[in-house]
Amino acid sequence: MSANRAVLDDATFIRASIAVAQRAREHGNHPFGAILVDGNGQIVLEAENTVITGRDCTGHAETNLMRRACAHFNGAELAGLTMYASTEPCVMCAGAIYWGGVGRVVYGLSSEALYRMTGSNPALPVSCREVFARGVRHVQVGGPLLEDEARIVHVGFWT
């Protein structure tokens, strides 16, 4: 695949993860979404944030997706998948991605930009790149990508 094709596909899939985040918001949850894409460019799984409706503080989109992915795919298959997240995975989600074995993560809105939008956010301000860098297995990271588009789903939610 050419570099231009990869960028085009990444943009397409980031937009798909933002659409999942919009659905999460419409369902009464925090506006986060994530999808898994295989090497053929097919979306194989997706997950919304379910923190509010599921009454579970670990119900982040990426962690929900990893729970489903680990039930559907073996380690070798997971290593060949790319996760697209509407917003940069938090520390917890980065850990789930790492332990699950996904080989590549691309995100839309950076955690830094999200923290600026949310004001007094109690989250741990650690980049997913920092989390992955501590591991022995390499996880390729792309992003932020289409940050202005990824920001829109959050507008008005955190105030």
Name the residues annotated as catalytic: 62
Cite the DSSP H helix spans in 27-156: 61-72, 75-79, 91-100, 111-118, 128-133, 147-152
Whose tokens are 């596909």? That residue is 9
Distance CA 135, CA 1 (A): 28
Report the DSSP pairing between strands 104-109 and 82-87.
Answer: parallel
DSSP string, 6-41: HHHHHHHHHHHHHHHHHHHHHTTS-S-EEEEE-TTS
Short-list 114, 95, 99, 144, CA closest to 32: 114
Q: Which residue type does 86 have? A: S
